[in-house]
Structure 1
Amino acid sequence: MDGRLKIGISACFFHPDGERKAAPSKTLLWIEQSTAHWVMSQGALPVMVPSFAGETFRGEVRVEDYASWLDGLVMHGGADVWPGTYGEQPLKPEWHGDRVRDEYEIALVKAFSAAGKPVFGICRGVQLLNVAHGGTLFQDITTQKPGARVHRDAAAYDLNFHEVDILPGTRLAQLLQPGRHRINSVHHQGIKDLAPGFQVEAVSPDDGVVEAIRHTGGPWIAGVQWHPEFHRPELGVVDDTPLLRDFLEAARAARNIR
């Protein structure tokens, strides 16, 4: 058991918020079962990382303690990123995002990267990684990128699919083969200005929307706009297993260095 990798998963927040029509009186933290099961599929142990702020916080445990103890971090999907995180105002009230979660996840990214641990982002996770390193987002692809395809269909949800071009010469091309692949699409926001130090690894062929990025130097940081944890072979989508294995190999290498 001690040999298994321990992978942190960032939490989704359901918390008191004056801008939300329905909000609890206490903060709830949770992760999606599919994300935990995706990590477990290769024998790693998923661990939800709690928040380190709020009126109930007490004690001396800090984010750096989790970054030291765990072997890597997965940033998973969920609420929009607050536009203020990248210097903008929400274009619509419903796009105000989750500032509390943004601050928590940016602290996680910084702590795990400083500890030399790999970070992998899924959907919101890849958007947050871009923003955390100085990039910006389209608050709504349909509104801000005329002619873009439908990247989020509320009725179809994870059964909304489209093609993606994996760019040659990238690490992602080594893992999944360059060329065109089928992926799911469950997002209305997306990367606008790429963060310094990052490389685009995949794009939507119809409209050029960024679908995958990777840090080009220093800490191991990468992410995809689609949901690999939702992919099932019978749906004709790309097999994302090499993505997970690559991340876990980086986590193993970081552990061995320690």
Structure 2
Amino acid sequence: MAIMSKRPLRIGLSARIYHPQAGARGIQSKSLQYLEQSVAHWVMSRDVMVFMIPSVSGDGQVHRSSIRLSDYAEYLDGLVLQGGADISPQCYGEEPLHPDWAGDRVRDAYEMELLHEFMESGKAVLGICRGAQLINVALGGTLHQDIVLQVENAASHVHEDFDRHAHGVTWSGSSAFAKLYPGMTGGRVTSIHHQAIKTLGRGLRVEATSVNDEVIEAVRLETKPYVLGLQWHPEFHPPGSSELLDCTPILDEFLAAARGRRW
């Protein structure tokens, strides 16, 4: 009798949202939901099936009563919250200090609901850049609206070179990263953010900080389910790079947590 092979993991990826601008025509007059190719390919590098999860509200034709975000949490094995627009300061009880930092309340609400549905289902969650900030705010934490403005002796965390900009991070021996990276205390990571975690959300602990200014660079939920937030972009770290931290141990840990839900 033939032995059935295990099915591939099914990982959901939250959508970035493009909102139509006044006076736009054609496709730009529509709400667009999309993903950044690199993050999908990074997750797929372990023979994982990736599904972008669209929001189920807005101006589309599908009503919330027909498909819910909880249905995705039930069907999929894990969730990746990808990067993108700022979190609205109103989500943590503040007003934007600059109009450009107002964020995207529509996406905030969608991803917070998505996060809570996956956590309620006991599924693994990995947040990248904005995703790490979203996890923190959803659990009651706050953010620095702008690192340069609000962090003393701030180092550079964003640069016009975009994904070619990097800085060092460090972790202590008590961090779970110490087990993932034996003999290491840090590395260099791709950095594309002007906001950062300020006060921690409920149940989170700091896993890594920036070398020069101690900005929080990674957080982890201390209890189940598996929830990890990375302020950096592992999808922009070339495989085998000698200059940047090899993030495959982090990906493998996340996928192992997702797999443990089923096997």
TM-score (norm 2): 0.92
Does 1:230 pair with 2:229? no
Determine the structure 1 residue equivalent to 2:46.
42
- What is the CA–CA distance in structure 2 between the aligned matches of 1:172 and 1:193, rounded to whole Å? 21
Is the CA contact (8 Å cut-off) linking 1:71 and 1:252 kept in structure 2?
yes
Determine the structure 2 residue equivalent to 1:241.
248
Determine the structure 2 residue equivalent to 1:138.
144
Determine the structure 2 residue equivalent to 1:56.
60
Is the CA contact (8 Å cut-off) linking 1:119 and 1:220 kept in structure 2?
yes
- What pairs up with 1:214-229 in 2 under 5 angstroms? 214-229=220-235
Of stretches 109-118 and 48-57 in structure 1, the one that deviates more from structure 2 is 48-57
Equivalent residue of 2:261, what SS? helix
Q: What is the Cα-based RMSD across aligned positions, in Å?
A: 1.7
CA-to-partner distance for each residue in 1:123-166, whole Å, 9 max, x for gaps?
00000000000000001000111310010002x11111111102
Does 1:74 pair with 2:71? no
- What is the CA–CA distance in structure 1 between the aligned matches of 2:13 and 2:155, rounded to whole Å? 30
Equivalent residue of 1:55, what SS? coil
Determine the structure 2 residue equivalent to 1:160.
165
Instruction: Indicate how the Cα distance of structure 1 residues 209 and 255 shifts in structure 2: closer, same or farther if over 3 A, else same.
Output: same
Equivalent residue of 1:201, what SS? strand
Equivalent residue of 2:199, what SS? coil
AA aligned opposite 2:168: E
AA aligned opposite 2:243: G
- What is the CA–CA distance in structure 1 between the aligned matches of 2:164 and 2:62, rounded to whole Å? 42
Residue 58 of structure 1: CA displacement? 2.2
- What is the CA–CA distance in structure 2 between the aligned matches of 1:216 and 1:46, rounded to whole Å? 26
Does 1:186 pair with 2:159? no
Equivalent residue of 1:13, what SS? strand
AA aligned opposite 1:11: A
- What is the CA–CA distance in structure 2 between the aligned matches of 1:167 and 1:43, rounded to whole Å? 32
Equivalent residue of 1:79, what SS? coil
Is the CA contact (8 Å cut-off) linking 2:128 and 2:229 kept in structure 1?
yes
AA aligned opposite 2:35: I
- What pairs up with 1:76-155 in 2 under 5 angstroms? 76-154=82-160
AA aligned opposite 1:249: A
Of stretches 99-108 and 217-226 in structure 1, the one that deviates more from structure 2 is 217-226
Residue 172 of structure 1: CA displacement? 1.9
Residue 2 of structure 1: CA displacement? 6.1
| Runs of 4+ with >6 A deviation | none
Is the CA contact (8 Å cut-off) linking 2:21 and 2:29 kept in structure 1?
no
Give the paired residue count: 252
- What is the CA–CA distance in structure 2 between the aligned matches of 1:108 and 1:94, rounded to whole Å? 25
Residue 17 of structure 1: CA displacement? 6.1
Residue 51 of structure 1: CA displacement? 0.5
AA aligned opposite 1:213: V
Determine the structure 1 residue equivalent to 2:213.
207
Determine the structure 2 residue equivalent to 1:176.
181
Does 1:26 pair with 2:33? no
- Percent sequence identity is 47
Which protein shows a greater Rg?
2
Is the CA contact (8 Å cut-off) linking 1:176 and 1:240 kept in structure 2?
no
Q: Structure 1: where are the runs of 5+ without partners?
A: none
- What is the CA–CA distance in structure 1 between the aligned matches of 2:172 and 2:208, rounded to whole Å? 5
